[in-house]
Structure 1
Amino acid sequence: MTDRRNIAFVLPIYNEEGNIPLLYERLTQVAERAAERYVVEFIFIDDGSRDRSLELLRALRERDERVSVYSLARNRGHQIAVTAGIDVADADAVIVMDSDLQDPPEVALDLIAAWEQGADVAYAKRRTRDDGFLKRLTAGGYYWTLSKLARIDIPRDTGDFRLMDRRVVEELRRYPERNRFIRGMVAEIGFRQEAVLFDRDARHAGTTGYPLGKMLKLAADGILGFSSFPLRLISALGLTLAVGAGVWTLYLAISRIVAPENQVEGWTFLAAGMFLLGGIQLLMLGVLGQYIGRIYEEVQHRPLYAFAVRETGPHDPA
């Protein structure tokens, strides 16, 4: 028997064969430093990797009973992989971190310290980041936009690298939506949340699992999932155009009566106006379609993921 509390690391994996050995080495060093007070386990969620990631993870499991390996039946995306790891974790606290070593494992000790001091959520906030200028520019613009539009306060310059107390994890499991933005969901849950500053490193090996398309999808999930501002903007824009069109029509009618000799015949302006209004209407329909599409996905109530592999002990598949 032990009176040490349990901490589970949840680590999503997608084509990270070049990072897994060093990641595991640094994680075990962190675990050794925390071993006096905590029992640490590592939950790896393979998100349909196409390289040797799953093979390497299963080799780790064979020699370290702290390692659990779960493999999704197909690639479902980072947020779903993190969700799967949180769902299977059974610990007093869960630490979510990426596996590319941009999130330094050693920062987990600072997250644990904040938890010990009473925080229910300790989230890692980037003090510096080893990214290109364009990446920093777009990230800054996105977080600024999100802070202005979201109905809740989602911390800037944060990812999913955070420690969550069991109470927060249990609440998070009650959120069933498919288009997931976990950092926003955790912010919405509440409890006592504190920032831990850290310097973000460059990716150790491999390529990012978030190319432009996935980054835009995640950005849309954050804005559309936590803000109805685009719908309000549509209403405001429609009202503005309607009022403007009414004023313009009245002006043309008065001009034709008062000074008909100044009227210019032709359809150029009319055609340009029709194309402008048509484009705006299509844009509005696109925004509405995004919300309606998300409603359609939610009401289907399909499972978020399925496991192809569950191995939770050195020789004992679950």
Structure 2
Amino acid sequence: YRRVKKVLAKLNRSREFVFVNDGSHDQSLEVLKDLSAKDLGVKYINFTRNFGQQAAITAGMDHSSGKALITMDCDLQDPPELLPELINKWEDGYDVVYARRSHREDKLFKKYSAILYYKILQKFSDIEISGNIGDFRLIDRKVLTSLKGMREKSRYLRGMVAWLGYRYKIIDYKRPERLFGDTGFSLLKMVRLGMAGILNFSLLPLRLGLVIGLVTIFAGFGFLSYITYDMLIYDTIYPLYKWLSVITFIFTGFLFILVWIMAEYVGQIYNETKGRPIYVINDKENFENEYEDSYSKL
């Protein structure tokens, strides 16, 4: 808060802070209550429980009132000192300004798994998503208005913003190490977010099933051709049931993969049709014009 406030003070602009407490069990809520009491420009939203990073960002967007808004993490790995540059590019006419990590101080597994994931997503999705872009971005009010019309429960905001197709600019920066605390964004949550990106914006799983099926079929015919050739030319006797068992096993594995892929898509359809809100708010503060909470109920 202090670092962002210091940076924005130099710009001489009106601003608001919208913090979202996503079910944390530390003293975050007490800190936010204290800040909001001292600074009416500090607003907070307190969830009833943890609804996830994408839901928290969505809530902050839904409750913002500025001509433009910037989403960023609170661990200071998204440097506030970059805000003036984001705003300058927005003033130049760009509707979306991304902050891209040119270098990241992450563990090797996280770093290279992210690189591989974005390469797969870029190759097989129908949208253009640059690698190493997280949720540190500026978006114009009209972009936000468009996003509010996209209320899917399985949310991948990076893909959703890119899908809208607004004019954008990318700014590179070096992402520093985490200064304090441990991330609550576990490996499982990263996998879920990655799956949301692939399932929402790519037909890769379905196409992958086709590829695996074709490879399996050709491999099966290859085995049968080899056995037939060896038996006819060299009079080798093979217990055919063994090869048939192997081929049957391979095809069974292929069918299981197809069932899993279809289950993922059916599961997403099921979640969408339940009509549950993206998030539930327990309490909030300093929203003078009471927000019509219709979007969170869709």
TM-score by length of structure 2 reads 0.91
Shift of 1:52: 0.6
Question: C-alpha distance in 2, partners of 1:130/1:246?
Answer: 49
**Farther-moved stretch of structure 1 (285-294 vs 41-50):** 285-294
Shift of 1:287: 1.5
Q: Aligned to 1:126, what secondary structure does the other structure show?
A: strand
Q: Does the 8 Å CA contact 2:47/2:279 hold for their aligned counterparts?
A: yes
Deviations 1:90-129 (A, max 9, x none): 1100100011110001111110010011110001011211
Partner of 1:127: 102
Deviations 1:232-258 (A, max 9, x none): 2212332443355456556656776x4
Matched, 1:72 2:51: no
Change in 2 beyond 3 A, CA 1:104/1:231: same
Partner of 1:311: 285
Partner of 2:296: none
| Aligned with residue 285 of structure 1, among 248, 256, 259 | 259
Partner of 1:28: 5
Question: C-alpha distance in 2, partners of 1:201/1:215?
Answer: 20
Deviations 1:188-213 (A, max 9, x none): 11111000111111112111121110
Aligned residues: 291
> Which residue identity does 1:34 align to in structure 2?
L
Shift of 1:260: 8.9
Q: Does the 8 Å CA contact 1:67/1:313 hold for their aligned counterparts?
A: no
Deviations 1:21-79 (A, max 9, x none): xxx110110220122xx211000011011111011001000000110011111100000
| Aligned with residue 104 of structure 1, among 79, 83, 88 | 79
| Aligned with residue 62 of structure 1, among 17, 37, 58 | 37
Shift of 1:282: 1.2
Shift of 1:305: 0.9
Question: C-alpha distance in 1, partners of 2:119/2:35?
Answer: 41
Q: Does the 8 Å CA contact 2:216/2:250 hold for their aligned counterparts?
A: no
Q: How does 1:192-211 map to 2 (within 5 A)?
A: 192-211=167-186
Question: C-alpha distance in 2, partners of 1:274/1:239?
Answer: 15
Question: C-alpha distance in 2, partners of 1:214/1:31?
Answer: 32
Point out where structure 2 has 5 or more consecutive residues left out of the alignment.
292-298
Deviant stretches of 4+, over 4 Å: 246-256
Question: C-alpha distance in 1, partners of 2:109/2:14?
Answer: 41
Question: C-alpha distance in 1, partners of 2:14/2:196?
Answer: 35
Partner of 2:131: 156
Shift of 1:151: 1.1
Matched, 1:231 2:206: yes
% identity of equivalent residues: 37
> Which residue identity does 1:196 align to in structure 2?
I
Q: Does the 8 Å CA contact 1:66/1:313 hold for their aligned counterparts?
A: no
Question: C-alpha distance in 2, partners of 1:247/1:200?
Answer: 50
Deviations 1:114-164 (A, max 9, x none): 001111000101121122222221121111121112111101111000000
Q: Does the 8 Å CA contact 1:121/1:192 hold for their aligned counterparts?
A: yes
Partner of 1:91: 66
Q: Aligned to 1:287, what secondary structure does the other structure show?
A: helix
Question: C-alpha distance in 2, partners of 1:313/1:246?
Answer: 67
Shift of 1:271: 2.8
Matched, 1:268 2:242: yes
| Aligned with residue 160 of structure 2, among 166, 182, 185 | 185
Point out where structure 1 has 5 or more consecutive residues left out of the alignment.
1-23
Shift of 1:279: 2.0
Partner of 1:16: none
Question: C-alpha distance in 2, partners of 1:44/1:28?
Answer: 14
Question: C-alpha distance in 2, partners of 1:138/1:82?
Answer: 23
| Aligned with residue 25 of structure 2, among 50, 57, 71 | 50
Partner of 1:301: 275
